[in-house]
A and B are shown apart, each in its own frame.
Chain A
Amino acid sequence: MSTDDDLLTGGAPVPAAAGPTAVATAAEADSSKRTAGPGRRARVLPYLLIAPSIAAFALLLGYPLYLNVRISFQKLDLAELVQRLTVFRGLANYRAIFSDSFFWSVTLRTVLFTAACVGLTMVLGTLIALLLDRLGKTMRLLLSVSLVLAWAMPALTATVVWQWLFDTQFGVVNWLLTRLGGDFTNHSWFATGLSTFAIIVAIVVWQAIPFVAFTLYAGLTAIPRELYDAIRVDGAGAWRTFRSLIVPVLRPLFMITAFLSIIWDFKLFTQIWLVRQGGPNRQTITLGIYAYQEGIASGHFGKAAAISMVMVLLLLTALVYYIRTMLRTQEDV
Chain B
Amino acid sequence: MRRKSRRALTNLAGVLAIGVFAFPVYWMFATAFKPTVDILSYTPKWLPVPFTLQHFSTAIHRPHFGDYVRNSLVVTLSAVLLSLLFALLAAFAVGRFNFRGRKAYLLAVMIVQMAPFEALLIPFFLVLRGVNLLNQLPALILIYFIFTMPFTIWALRGFVISIPPELEEAAMVDGASRFQAFMRVVFPLLAPGLVATSVFAFVTAWNEFLYAFVFMTDEARYTLPVWLSSFRTAFGTDWGGTMAASTLFTIPVLIFFLIVQRRLVSGLTAGAVKG
Interface residues, chain A, with chain B CB atoms under 8 Å away: 1, 5, 8-9, 11, 13-16, 19-21, 23-24, 26-27, 29-37, 42-43, 45-47, 49-50, 52-54, 56-57, 60-61, 63-65, 67-68, 71, 81, 128, 131, 134-136, 139-140, 142-143, 145-158, 160-165, 167, 169-170, 172, 175, 206, 209-210, 260, 263, 266-267, 269-270, 273-274, 288, 291-292, 295-296, 301, 304-305, 308-309, 311-312, 315, 319, 323
Contact = CB atoms under 8 A, between A and B. Distances in A.
A320 to B, nearest CB: 9
B27 A164 contact: yes
B149 A53 contact: yes
A291 B110 contact: no
Contacts of B264: 16, 19
B200 A64 contact: no
B151 to A, nearest CB: 5
B76 interface: no
Contacts of A60: 142-143, 145-146
A26 to B, nearest CB: 4
A1 B275 contact: yes
Given A135-B10, A157-B249, A23 B158 contact: yes
B13 to A, nearest CB: 6
A15 B261 CA distance: 7
A61 B44 contact: no
A216 to B, nearest CB: 14
Contacts, number: 317
A333 B165 CA distance: 25
A159 B19 CA distance: 18
A9 B111 contact: no
Interface in B102-132: 102, 105-108, 110-116, 118-127, 129
- B95, B114, B127, B257 — most chain A CB neighbours (10 Å): B114
Main secondary structure of the interface of B (DSSP, over half): helix
A64 to B, nearest CB: 4
Contacts of B123: 63-65, 67-68, 71, 305
A18 B260 CA distance: 13
A35 B165 CA distance: 6
Nearest to A43: B99
A267 B214 CA distance: 16
Contacts of B210: 269-270, 273, 292
Given A19-B151, A61-B112, A157-B228, A146 B87 contact: no
B155 interface: yes
Interface in B14-61: 14-15, 17-18, 20-22, 24-25, 27-28, 31, 39-44
Contact of B157 (A27, A36, A128, A165): A27
B250 A49 contact: no
Contacts of B150: 20
A35 B86 CA distance: 21
A40 B252 CA distance: 47
Q: Which of B98, B107, B118, B145 has the most CB of A within 10 A?
A: B118
17 contacts: A19-B268, A20-B154, A21-B113, A21-B114, A30-B271, A33-B164, A42-B97, A43-B99, A52-B89, A56-B145, A61-B120, A136-B11, A143-B14, A270-B210, A296-B214, A319-B114, A323-B110
Nearest to B165: A35
A16 B265 CA distance: 6
B11 to A, nearest CB: 6
Contacts of B155: 19-20
B18 A142 contact: yes
Given A34-B95, A63-B127, A161-B24, A139 B14 contact: yes
A53 B90 contact: yes
Contacts of A301: 122, 125-126
A27 B106 CA distance: 12
Nearest to A274: B229
Given A164-B27, A263-B116, A24 B89 contact: no
B242 A160 contact: yes
Nearest to B9: A134
Nearest to A158: B24
B96 A35 contact: yes
Interface residues of B, number: 108
B194 interface: no
Contacts of B99: 43, 46-47
Given A27-B272, A160-B242, 14 more contacts: A8-B269, A16-B268, A53-B86, A57-B112, A64-B127, A139-B11, A139-B18, A146-B18, A152-B250, A160-B243, A161-B25, A170-B42, A305-B123, A311-B118
Nearest to A292: B121
A176 B210 CA distance: 34
A131 B17 contact: yes
B121 A291 contact: yes
A165 B151 contact: no
